Amino acid sequence: MTFKLREISIIVILALLLGLGCVTEQTSSGQKPLDAGKNQADEKDERIKKVFETISERNKTIKKSPEWLKTAYSGIGIKRLNDIPKEKYQSYRKYLSGNSIYFIVHPGYFAFFDDSKSTYLPKEAPTEGFPANNIAERFMGILPPDAVTTKLLKEEEVLLRDFLEFMSTEKRLVVLVLSRDYKEHFSYGEPTGRDEYARYINELTNMSDSIIYMESQGPWDGLIEAKDLEILMTFLNTVGAKKIYLGGGFLGKCLGNTYESIRPKVSYENIAYVPEITAISPDDSSVSSSDIKLINKNGRINFKVVSNYFNTYGTKDGEMPQFKNLSLYKAYR
């Protein structure tokens, strides 16, 4: 009898200890309700929605004002990397997203610099002394609307603009690679006497402190000169950027040049293209092929097909580049 009572007592004590242990473990591990992940995702989606609502409102109001346009036309409003003192590099660490930095190569290239097109833009009636639309918007408006290349260009322009507007509003670090001496190489027609490319870049970046630029070796390539590459690597090491994500245009052309310039300084696993913000050249013969459905029935880019298309490209050394999908927000919301 005594043995049974003792046995029962031990069992009760063990049960209490196990119960307390479970409670303690559950509390100390900070376990969250099963729907916590969903709530966090919903909160993120709502925040991103509000960011893009802010962007839309700003584009319809502030950026249409003569005061803003006057500033936008006065020159590129973001800092050039070469002009930033080394002792200021550390201050850009706060803009880094984790340990990742994004590069956008030659934004607006086709509208501003592509010599393959022979279209000259018609003059646009000014609004309070300034054109209502930038050159890229005006150029897209005169392209054949039903052509696959036109649809592709328009979608790529929207996706890239969304990305840079988002990054500038959220104060996240981006490096633009712009054509050197760009004012001497415009191909969109008669000069207007205004710095149209400055307006375009300023509209995309909102002249944000978190976005900077450097120049490619030439106007029609994305190569980075050795002295500029040295400055760039010092900057990246100082801010702690380990992962490099590339976008812009065009894959296999200028964008490939930038990859090839940076790759010897960065390990293979730490550099990748982002399909959602990587442009395909409309001059690629296969773009308009009926066998390649780059544009879906809704008129949007089919990223699955695009990713397969990208896999046909390699670098000059035969190395197959890596691709990483955009994780900051959904490209098509």
- Mind listing the domains of the chain with CATH numbers? 78-310 (3.40.50.850)
On the question of pLDDT at 199 being above 90, the answer is yes
The predicted-structure confidence for 32-43, as pLDDT tens digits, reads as follows 565 767 788 889
pLDDT band at 119 (very low <50, low <70, confident <90, very high): low
Tokens of 280: 């395909």
Pick from 194, 215, 212: which is nearest to 71 by CA? 194
Answer yes or no: is pLDDT of 315 > 90. no
Q: Which has more pLDDT, 176 or 190?
A: 176
Quick one: pLDDT at residue 31? 54
pLDDT, position 293: 85
Is the pLDDT assigned to residue 18 strictly greater than 50? no
DSSP 80-112: EGGGS-GGGGGGGGGG-BTTEEEEEESTTHHHH
What pLDDT score does 21 carry? 43
> What's the rounded mean pLDDT across residues 88-93?
98
Query: Is residue 231 pLDDT above 70, yes or no?
Result: yes
For residue 322, how many other CB atoms are within 10 A of its CB?
A: 13
Position with higher pLDDT, 141 vs 89: 89
Query: What pLDDT score does 289 carry?
Result: 67
Mean pLDDT within 258-278: 96
pLDDT at position 115 is 73
The phi, psi pair for 25, rounded to 5°, reads -65, -40
Which pLDDT score is estimated for 2?
45
Residue 217, φ and ψ in degrees, nearest 5: -55, -40
Q: Which of 69, 207, 192 is nearest to 127 (CA)?
A: 69
Of 77-91, 206-220, 304-318, the least confident: 304-318
Calculate ∠ Cα 105-179-52, nearest 5°: 45
What is the C-alpha to C-alpha distance for residues 16 and 92, in angstroms, rounded to an integer? 54
Question: How big is the CA angle at 127 (ends 123 and 131), to the nearest 5 degrees?
Answer: 40
